[in-house]
Amino acid sequence: MTTTTDARPVLVVDFGAQYAQLIARRVREANVYSEVVPHTITAEEVRAKDPIAIILSGGPASVYTHDAAKFDAQVFELGIPTLGICYGFQTMAAALGGAVEETGKRENGHTEISLTDAGTASPLFTGQSSQQIAWMSHRDAVSKAPEGFEVYASSASTEIAAFGDEARKLYGVQWHPEVKHTQQGAEFFDAFLHRAAGIPDDWRPASIIDEQVERIREQIGQDEVICALSGGVDSAVAAALVQRAVGEQLTCVFVDHGLMRQDERRQVEEDFVAATGVRLVVVDAREQFLGHLAGVSDPEQKRKIIGREFIRVFETTAAELVAESREDDIPGEIKYLVQGTLYPDVVESGGGTGTANIKSHHNVGGLPEDLTFELVEPLRALFKDEVRAVGRELGVPEAIVSRQPFPGPGLGIRIVGEITPERLDLLREADAIVRHELTAAGLDDEIWQCPVVLLADVRSVGVQGDSRTYGHPIVLRPVTSEDAMTADWTRVPYDVLAHISNRITNEVQGVNRVVLDVTSKPPGTIEWE
């Protein structure tokens, strides 16, 4: 399955950099569509994608080593505006006859760069300060620019920190304009995309909706379709988008698998239906899911079981809907299933760049081989913030659009150990307290999500009042993220943490510790396993 958009992309070539997806986000922020592709892409494959520009990412290696990430140099001959960043800058230099050497000097962190006269006149830097602070991270440097290139910038340690060949629209910078530590990074991307490459800024929620509505109608035609509605922002926006396209041909199916957070079923049944008028079927499958999960502790096995049972419920429900509708002359088959798959899901499941499979939820890596549905994934090309913008444009309730992300397997992967009804109730109560207190403290806009994890197979000794207690620890992991691809822990005020801890240990029976996890990881790995 590929991304679902007709827009010509800016291809971000991933050389193994931690910031490849962030580059793609910066391009989207400039209202231009982007896709991440592996460095193994060939010139022929690039030509087939018909990109409007190419950006080469950074990377961890040296371009002159035998195991360095290689790139098809014929891409530079396609006449496509191309920007190289860090390793991509050095790759361009080496491929076109320049030279890259280890200098023995490292530049890491904030670095002052100076524009040359040629740089000041370049469309990349027109109107920008001649002295800038940029974020460097390299030990190698371009020691000789390729023929036809002018040097645009230098630093104290790097004579050639940026260059360009205006005739061929080939450019490169040694620093990282995609990170916020680079002072004029946003202006730099605007300049490359809109001024140097001449790309219009027309990738916006309204245009996304119009394009996807047309694609959905073309795919579904007059057939019936069901949507896996979880109550999260992704599935809710996907449902609203499909309803905009095909109206009453859509039936949303909410599966109550017993792994939901507190009040989620009511929010879907009341708030979402009231705002959209969508036809909703609620399936109580708690016994089915918990029965299959009984005695299972392995986290990956839990994910696979939950994903499998989701699909089985959708298949059974589709058959029941068909049986009920035959008297009304509605088509006797439901062939399509809507899922809220996002672009980060595609990348992190190995479907975007050939990278490792991080995610294995039912909508990205856990689908049964005998799946009988054809998938409809209207959000597959979008990042999370773009989905929220589309949702607001479609009139999805703000309480759903702005809610914290919640994984498809629900609380099942936030219990370390076996899942039982008692443990689910305990975690559900603790999670509700955390969400209430973070909202009361006004931190919803600052915190992207806060997984609450129950260490069910761990018990600790504590003292409450005059008695010794034996209880489970609860772990909090408040996380900030701009793009759902990279994340850092949120510095929650101590008084808020203290209040949360006090409430949980006093109100939730069986918990006597609240632990704060301050590890920084990509969001795809934040669920405790």
Instruction: Considering the candidates 178, 224, 264, 527, report the single residue annotated as catalytic.
Output: 178
Give how far Cα 343 sits from Cα of 22, 175, 348, 361, 366, Å: 13, 26, 9, 14, 17
Nearest CA to 529 among 373, 309, 303, 299?
299
Instruction: Considering the candidates 39, 176, 257, 472, report the single residue annotated as catalytic.
Output: 176
Instruction: Look up tokens 């679902």; give the residue.
Output: 4
Structure tokens at 168: 């061929």
As to burial, measured by CB atoms within 10 angstroms (0-12 exposed, 13-18 middle, 19+ buried), residue 129 is middle
Question: Alpha-carbon distance 347 to 355, whole Å?
Answer: 8
Question: Alpha-carbon distance 64 to 99, whole Å?
Answer: 10
Question: Alpha-carbon distance 69 to 83, whole Å?
Answer: 17
Number of H helices and E strands in the chain, helices first, is: 16, 20
Spatial contact of 225 and 373, defined as CB atoms under 8 Å apart:
no
Instruction: Look up tokens 């939901």; give the residue.
Output: 260
Indicate the pairing of strand 250-256 with strand 280-284. Answer: parallel
Question: Alpha-carbon distance 272 to 257, whole Å?
Answer: 19
Structure tokens at 364: 């990205």
CA angle 500, 431, 450 (to 5 degrees): 80
Instruction: Considering the candidates 29, 35, 39, 86, report the single residue annotated as catalytic.
Output: 86
Residue 472 annotated to the active site = no
Residue 194 annotated to the active site = no
Nearest CA to 526 among 358, 386, 310?
358
Give how far Cα 341 sits from Cα of 184, 197, 352, 496, Å: 33, 31, 13, 34
The three-state secondary structure class of 105 is strand
Residue 499 annotated to the active site = no
Catalytic residue numbers read: 86, 176, 178
